[in-house]
């Protein structure tokens, strides 16, 4: 009577272990895929990867809010006084010395010209989300007559730079360009 032992036929057992493990891995992957896939942006967010905004009706001193990638974007046609006030602020007075402008290098200083678009200094386009905890600040408010986040007391100036409060960074400037005198492409 012949007896088989593990040493005589190890390949069969090894194959069964490997095949079982592979089937288990495929099963886990098949179960996990719907959960991973649902984290991707939906079609409406992808469709808004870039938007064009007509700003011809925005008067000097007025602001509008548009949606871009599900976030509010503040577009303000600043007055000459607001631009002059923002340009007069020394960088040493700013808690965040960086421009946070997606159109410039990451280390660009937070000067007023670096917060806008060259040749269109009166226009300020910024993501309207407070950099402290993600609240939406109020426009034409606060100690610096820019934006004010009432949730935790962050004050931004007329260039969207943090001046007082718990917010650690200036409001973000999204990628943008003027495609004409009255059309802004965001994204």
CA torsion sign for 50, 45, 68, 98 is negative
Residue 80, strand partner residues = none
Say how far apart CA 111 and CA 40 lie, in whole Å.
36
DSSP 50: S
CA neighbours closer than 13 Å in the CB half-sphere of residue 155: 10
Instruction: Answer whether 75's CB lies under 8 Å from 125's CB.
Output: yes
How far is the C-alpha of 155 from the C-alpha of 94, rounded, in Å?
12
152 tagged catalytic = yes
Q: Can you tell me whether residue 183 is helix, strand or coil?
A: strand
Q: How many CB atoms lie within 10 A of CB 6?
A: 8
The strand pair at 146-149 and 63-68 is best described as unpaired
Cα–chain center distance at 160: 15
Count how many residues are written for the chain: 187
Name the residues annotated as catalytic: 152
């Amino acid at each position: 009577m012949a007896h088989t032992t593990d040493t005589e036929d190890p390949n069969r057992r090894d194959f069964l272990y490997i095949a079982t493990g592979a089937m288990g891995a495929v099963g886990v992957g098949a179960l996990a895929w719907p959960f991973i896939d649902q984290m991707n942006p939906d079609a409406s967010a992808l469709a808004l990867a870039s938007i064009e905004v007509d700003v011809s009706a925005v008067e000097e001193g007025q602001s509008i809010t548009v949606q871009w990638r599900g976030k509010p974007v503040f577009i303000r046609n600043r007055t000459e006084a607001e631009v002059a006030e923002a340009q007069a602020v020394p960088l040493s007075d700013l808690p965040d010395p960086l421009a946070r402008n997606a159109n410039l290098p990451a280390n660009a200083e937070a000067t007023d010209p670096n917060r806008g678009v060259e040749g269109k200094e009166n226009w300020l386009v910024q993501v309207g989300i407070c950099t402290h905890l993600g609240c939406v600040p109020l426009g034409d408010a606060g100690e610096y007559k820019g934006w004010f986040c009432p949730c935790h007391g962050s004050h931004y100036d007329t260039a969207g730079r943090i001046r007082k409060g718990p917010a650690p960074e200036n409001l973000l400037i999204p990628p943008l360009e003027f495609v004409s005198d009255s059309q802004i492409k965001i994204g």
